[in-house]
Amino acid sequence: MLPVSGITVGVSVTVVTYFLNVHILLSIVAGVAAYFALNAWNERQPPLKSSYDYIIVGAGSAGCVVAARLSEDPNVSVLLVEAGGSDDTFLVNTPLSSPLLQRGELDWQYKTVPQTNSCMAHANGQSNWPRGKVLGGCSSINYMAYVRGNKADYDLWEKLGCKGWSYRDVLPYFMRSESNTRFRDSKYHGTDGPMGVSDLKEVNQHSRLFVDACDEVGIKKIDDYNGESQFGAGLCQVTQEGGVRANTSRAFLRPARGRANLRILTKAHVTGIVFNAQKEAIGIRYVVGKKGSAEQMIQANKEVILSAGAVGSPQLLLLSGVGPKQQLEQLGIPVVADLPGVGENMQDHLMTGLGYYSKLPSYTESSVGTLPNLINYLLYKDGPFQSNGLECTAFVSTGLRDDLLGAPDIQIHCFASVGNVKDFKNLNFRTEFMLEDMVKGKTINGMTFLPILLHPKSKGA
Ligand X SMILES: Cc1cc2nc3c(=O)[nH]c(=O)nc-3n(C[C@H](O)[C@H](O)[C@H](O)COP(=O)(O)OP(=O)(O)OC[C@H]3O[C@@H](n4cnc5c(N)ncnc54)[C@H](O)[C@@H]3O)c2cc1C
Q: Using CB under 6 A, which residues numbered 135 to 174 contact ligand X?
A: 137-139, 141-145, 147
Among 139, 140, 137, 143, residue whose Cα is nearest residue 266: 137
Q: Quote the least distance from Cβ 414 to ligand X, whole Å.
A: 13
Candidates 79-87, 201-209, 352-360, 370-378; binding stretch for ligand X (CB under 6 A):
79-87
Secondary structure element (H or E) that encloses residue 355, with its range: strand 354-357
A 10 A CB-CB count for 30 gives: 12
Is 60 an interacting residue with respect to ligand X (CB under 6 A)? yes
Beta carbons within 8 Å of 30's beta carbon, 6+ residues apart: none
Q: Does residue number 83 form part of the binding site for ligand X (CB under 6 A)?
A: yes
Question: Which candidate, 418, 419, 421, places its Cα nearest to that of 431?
Answer: 421
* H helix intervals, 117-195: 151-159, 167-177
Nearer to ligand X, 58 or 355 (CB): 58
Report d(CA 298, CA 168) in Å as an integer.
38
Q: Is 132 in the site for ligand X (CB under 6 A)?
A: yes
- Residue whose CB is less far from ligand X, 195 or 270: 270
Cα(443)–Cα(255) distance, rounded to whole angstroms?
43
| CA torsion angle 267 271 276 277 (round to 10) | 180
Q: For ligand X, which stretch binds (CB under 6 A), given 53-61, 217-225, 379-387, 393-401?
A: 53-61
Q: Among residue numbers 309 through 338, which ones bind ligand X (CB under 6 A)?
A: 309-310, 312, 316
Please report how close the Cβ of residue 450 comes to ligand X at its closest, in angstroms. 11
Q: Which of 70, 128, 133, 178 is in the footprint of ligand X by CB under 6 A?
A: 133
Closest residue by beta carbon to ligand X: 60
Binding to ligand X by residue 232, rule CB under 6 A?
no
Instruction: Tell me the residue length of the chain.
Output: 461
Which residue among 89, 266, 307, 362 contacts ligand X (CB under 6 A)?
307
3-state helix, strand, coil in the chain (%, to 5): 35, 25, 45
Q: Is 61 in the site for ligand X (CB under 6 A)?
A: yes
Is residue 200 involved in binding ligand X (CB under 6 A)? no
How many angstroms separate the CA atoms of 160 and 156, rounded?
Answer: 6
Nearer residue to ligand X within complex by CB, 174 or 183: 174
Choice from 92, 122, 130, 362 touching ligand X (CB under 6 A): 130
Question: Among 111, 201, 259, 269, which residue sits at the site for ligand X (rule: CB under 6 A)?
Answer: 269
Is the Cβ–Cβ distance between 410 and 398 less than 8 Å? yes
Q: Is 105 helix (H, G, I), strand (E, B) or coil?
A: coil
Q: Are 167 and 159 in contact (CB under 8 A)?
A: no
Choice from 235, 246, 251, 270 touching ligand X (CB under 6 A): 270
Number of residues that bind ligand X (CB under 6 A): 32
Query: What value, to the nearest 5°, has the Cα angle with vertex 357 and ends 351 and 362?
Result: 90
Contacting ligand X (CB under 6 A), which of 38, 54, 71, 84? 84
Which of the stretches 61-69, 180-188, 366-374, 396-404 binds ligand X when contact is defined by CB under 6 A? 61-69
**Which H or E run includes 40?**
helix 2-44
Between 123 and 287, whose beta carbon lies closer to ligand X? 287
Nearest to 273 by CA among 333, 344, 341: 333
To ligand X, the closest distance from the beta carbon of 357 in angstroms equals 25
Q: Does 446 engage in binding with ligand X (CB under 6 A)?
A: no
DSSP 375: H
Smallest gap from residue 75 Cβ to ligand X (A) = 26
Chain residues that interact with ligand X, rule: CB under 6 A: 57-63, 81-84, 130-133, 137-139, 141-145, 147, 269-270, 307-310, 312, 316
